[in-house]
Amino acid sequence: MTMERIGRLSVIIGQGGVLCKEEELFRNHKRKSLFIGIPNEQRKGDNRVCLTPETVRTLVDMGHKIIVQRGAGEGANYTDREYCDCGARIVETLEEVYVADIILKVTSVSVREAEYMHEHQVILSSMKVFQLKKEAIVEMMRKKVTALGFDIIKDDEGYYPIVRIMSEIAGNAAIMIAGEYLNNSREGKGIILGGVSGITPTEVMILGAGTLGEYAARAALGLGATVKVFDASVNRLRQLREKLNGQVYTSVFHEPVVNKSLLTADVVIGAVRCLDKKQAVMIREEQVKLLKRGAVIVDLSVDQGGCIETSYPTTHAQPVYTYEGVIHYCVPNVLSRVAKTASIAYSNVLLPLLSEVADLGGFTQALRVNAGLRNGVYIYNGILTKEVLADRFELMSKDIDLLLAAL
């Protein structure tokens, strides 16, 4: 009987066949120094940055090289001087940033950014299906780029760490936004979001019982509002009620129940995540008309197509519009309102991830042994690996596990 080690597995070969047992990673590779570039976000109104100066200092102390485009952190109130003092090199143009081996950016890759990429580059960014352009995908494929989506990378427990932390922030922000647009200064109904002694509490209706819906519910309950949560999954609703000690009303999307709740709701929060499917409309146009005049809709799903039929993307410069007397707030990058908090959250997730990649000898080896990281790949060495993108853009895709097994 013999034993060999392959990645995280001990492979025992004997007369009875092959027995595989997961063990501590057998490190027979050399630690790799990373060359990371942080560009300015090209999408107008997005103020977030992937790494804070403090995180840059930690990575530089580990022996990694960081270049930052001038002004990349200004929207999150981080100065070029802070990045420079923490060991980063400040460069002027996108072209200078894109010489790095690894690019970290918040928003989806644009066609212009894809043109600056070089062969076999690695880019980590959001993979927003409804924001990506076919031209950008084709250009990355042509240059044999490896692209990973923050929003589809999993941790060891099978959760999406970036999505979870951003959902926590966005859920809290959604309630603050709704409260802002209910007041008179924003031409709202002139009511406070919450509960006051002797006055009927505000009613908040949340579509989606995931992390986003959970934290919106927590924030609304903390202010004293009455909260109703709708979801297609009874299991998710049950889990949410347990987490919130039964303080919320819950229901599946049963139309008579939905319509009854719309008649009395002051706020509707769209918190349905629809990454791997077509636009999922939970509230139709005729149902929106059931809402009271001056009610507020905050559709946090608008960057994935939206879950309310009357929603369409707006900007931070003009964040709202009114339809049938109902105020709609539909800014896709809502987290840019709290850019510093969001940037710190990105850094908290990316620092250990980048450290692991370096310890494993680079992204190629890391993808072999880290299934959660591998799940984030949507282009590998120029080959499309996500069926949802292949279907959307009429391209061919291949399974990432089969690609890595063939190498």
Given a contact cutoff of 8 angstroms between Cβ atoms, the answer to whether 194 and 219 are in contact is no
Alpha carbons 370 and 75: distance in angstroms, whole number: 33
Q: Which residues of the chain have pLDDT under 70?
A: 1-29, 274-279, 407
- Residue 352: exposed, middle, or buried by beta-carbon count in 10 A (0-12, 13-18, 19+)? exposed
Q: Angle 154-172-216 (CA atoms, 0-180°, nearest 5)? A: 80
pLDDT computed for residue 43 by the predictor: 82
Query: H/E element holding 393?
Result: helix 387-393
93 Rama sector, left if φ>0, alpha if ψ -120 to 50, beta otherwise: beta
pLDDT computed for residue 274 by the predictor: 64
Identity of the amino acid at 351: L
User: What is the tens place of the pLDDT at every residue in 66-120?
Assistant: 999 999 999 999 999 999 999 999 999 999 999 999 999 999 999 999 999 999 9
Measuring CA to CA, which residue among 299, 297, 266, 268 is closest to residue 191? 266
pLDDT computed for residue 7 by the predictor: 43
Alpha carbons 193 and 174: distance in angstroms, whole number: 12
pLDDT computed for residue 6 by the predictor: 42
pLDDT computed for residue 23 by the predictor: 40
- C-alpha of 294 from chain center: 30
Contacts (Cβ under 8 Å, ≥6 apart) of 239: 209
- Residue 81: exposed, middle, or buried by beta-carbon count in 10 A (0-12, 13-18, 19+)? exposed
Model confidence pTM above 0.75: yes
Give the DSSP letter string of 194-248.
S-BTTBPPPEEEEE--SHHHHHHHHHHHHHT-EEEEE-S-HHHHHHHHHHTTT-S
pLDDT computed for residue 331 by the predictor: 93
